[in-house]
Amino acid sequence: MINASLSPRMLSVVSAVLLVVGGGEAFYSHKLSVEQRNLEAVINSHGDMLRKLSQEVDQAKDGYGELAGDLAFTKDRLGATQVELRKTQQSSARVVRQQTEAAKRWNTELTSLQQAQAAAQGTIGNLSSDVAGVKDGLNSTKEELASTRTDLQRVVGDLGVQSGLIATNHNELEELKMLGERDYAEFDLPKTKQPQRVGTVSLAVKKTDTKRQRYTINLIADDRTIEKKDKTVNEPVQFYQSGNRQPTEIVVNQIYKDRIVGYVAFPKKRDVRSAISEITPGQKASGSGGETNSLSQRNDVVRR
């Protein structure tokens, strides 16, 4: 309430002041309202930005999780790759080492082969010389063989049958073996009561005479015992064995006191059927009587 004692001028001033204060209050009130609205708009705008930022943060978190997973997977793959890389490096180093060792071996073997080839070439040259020498020796041996064969002789045995070639020593006997006309068995027999086996026969020395160069033996063949008495050096002592048309021959080359040295010459082996097939037609036609006569004649010869 305005005091009634105030003058009109004062009242005017007061009214003016009041009017100004009221107008300013209204102005500031309006301005405050505008600022408040602006502030609310800014706050709302910032709220939207904060929400977007929050969404982006959430999205970034999700992306970070995926990125973290990818990073972990990448680390695992990187670890496996590093292991594989180390294995590959080790394998490569091992392969290189093996190739180096193989190359060294190949070089060594190549050197050995080259040396062997050089040695072989020298050996081939020596062999060629040796072959030439062997050929010369062979030709010489052939000449000696031809010359030795001229020394061999055929004589009539103690049964009156023409013998084969007779050897008077070991070298000549070797030549006879090379001819292959008969089978031969050498012997060196002491004087004993028990016969000793020589090839397919058994022989027992009964007596030796070094002065007269004679000997007496018993021979056992085909379960028969035959005495050959006072035989001389290099004389073919003949007897027949079953299944052979040729006689077996004993030749003594050396006579010592209570000992003789020589060989037995056997006809080449053949079976009885082959021997029978060689009988002449006249012998076959003569029948059993002819065979009996032939056998009796042979037995007469053996008993000699």
Please write the tens of the pLDDT for every residue from 281-293: 444 433 334 344 4
In a domain? residue 31 = no
In 3-state terms, what secondary structure has residue 116?
helix
**Dihedral (CA of 283, 244, 182, 253) sign:** negative
| Residue 64, pLDDT above cutoff 60 | yes
Residue-averaged pLDDT of the chain: 78
Span 92-106, mean pLDDT? 85
Write out the residue range of the structural domain in which residue 189 sits.
152-271
Confidence (pLDDT) at 8 = 75
In a domain? residue 247 = yes
Stated pTM of the model? 0.43
In a domain? residue 144 = no
pLDDT tens digits for range 137-175: 666 656 655 554 545 667 777 787 877 789 999 999 999
In a domain? residue 258 = yes
Give the model's confidence band at 209: pLDDT under 50 very low, under 70 low, under 90 confident, else very high.
Answer: very high
Question: What CATH number should be reported for the domain holding residue 250?
Answer: 2.60.98
Q: Which of 233, 288, 238, 293 is nearest to 264 (CA)?
A: 238
Highest mean pLDDT among 17-26, 29-38, 149-158, 183-192: 183-192
In a domain? residue 21 = no
Query: What total number of domains does the chain contain?
Result: 1
Q: Which of 243, 240, 242 is nearest to 219 (CA)?
A: 240
For tokens 């939207």, the residue is 48
With the CA atoms of 24, 28, 34 and 39 taken in that order, what torsion angle do they form, in degrees rounded to the nearest 10? Answer: 170
Alpha carbon distance 17, 225 (integer Å): 191
| Residue 149, both tokens | 């064969």
In a domain? residue 215 = yes
In a domain? residue 283 = no
Percent of the chain with pLDDT over 70: 77
